[in-house]
Amino acid sequence: MSEYAALREASATLVDHLRTAFIADPQLNPLFGAGGHVVTLRTPKEMRSGPPQQVGVSVWLYQVERDESLYNRPLERVDPFRVRLPPLPINLHYLITPITDDPANEQLILGKVLQVLHDVPSIPPDPADVELDDVLRVTLENLNLESITRVWTALDEPYRLCASFLVHVVNIRSGLEAAQVPPVMVKVTEYDQITGVS
């Protein structure tokens, strides 16, 4: 098990979640069935420039940031004699872009993405995946045109129909060995009675 593999597994979980939804949809199944459109982690530019050129959906991770609200978590007690650093909580920003030669299909695909991630905003981890044990919470980001244009400028590509989603929280586990600490031996609880108020 790789402590740092949660990032890769979170991306794969999101891709699989969308691919499954496309294949299960009667309108989109002909596009995403065997040998058809792909759902990939490649950038929109990589999909268009190939080789080979691909059509489908780009689920591009374009920003990774620390979740400040969870950063000060206490040390984790592994057993009575050892503690380890808490995991690093990170938020992931994905640009989801349909890439086809038909603008109508692009709108159809993006509409399905919006529906799926609105209906099921929490994606549980695959029980068989030992490298990701976090529930992925997905929210649509309301980026203004200037912010989203900066992303496309960084790609050196003309703007395309897209949506940005925030996935949180993914925990990157510490790779350090747990440290030896003395156990908590006795818990003492004391009570007293207040007999008067001055």
pLDDT tens-digit series, residues 101-146: 999 999 999 999 999 999 999 998 877 776 777 899 999 999 998 9
DSSP letter string over 13-32?
A: HHHHHHHHHHHHSTTTHHHH
Q: Where residue 186 falls among pLDDT bands split at 50, 70, 90?
A: low
- Residue 191: is its pLDDT beyond 80? no
Instruction: Supply the pTM of this predicted model.
Output: 0.85
Q: What is the pLDDT of residue 198?
A: 60
Please report, rounded to a whole number, the percentage of residues in the chain having pLDDT higher than 90.
Answer: 58
Report if residue 189 sits inside a domain: no
Report if residue 195 sits inside a domain: no
Q: Where residue 75 falls among pLDDT bands split at 50, 70, 90?
A: confident
Report if residue 198 sits inside a domain: no
Q: Where residue 24 falls among pLDDT bands split at 50, 70, 90?
A: very high
The DSSP secondary-structure symbol of 61 reads: E
Under a CB-based contact definition with an 8 Å cutoff, are residues 40 and 59 in contact? yes
pLDDT tens-digit map of 49-68: 877 778 999 999 999 999 99
Going by C-alpha positions, the residue among 110, 92, 125 that lies closest to residue 28 is: 110
What is the rounded CA–CA span in Å between residue 30 and residue 104? 15
Report if residue 100 sits inside a domain: yes
| E strand or H helix that includes residue 98 | strand 88-99
Report if residue 196 sits inside a domain: no
Mean of pLDDT values over 147-167 = 93
Mean of pLDDT values over 169-191 = 80
| E strand or H helix that includes residue 155 | helix 145-155
Report if residue 190 sits inside a domain: no
| Count: domains in the chain | 1
Q: Which domain holds residue 64?
A: 6-180
Residue 25's Cβ-count burial label (10 Å; 0-12, 13-18, 19+) is: middle
Mean of pLDDT values over 159-167 = 95
The distance in angstroms from the start CA to the end CA of the chain is 61
Report if residue 188 sits inside a domain: no
Q: Where residue 190 falls among pLDDT bands split at 50, 70, 90?
A: confident
Report if residue 193 sits inside a domain: no
Cα angle 72, 73, 77 (rounded to 5 degrees) comes to 145
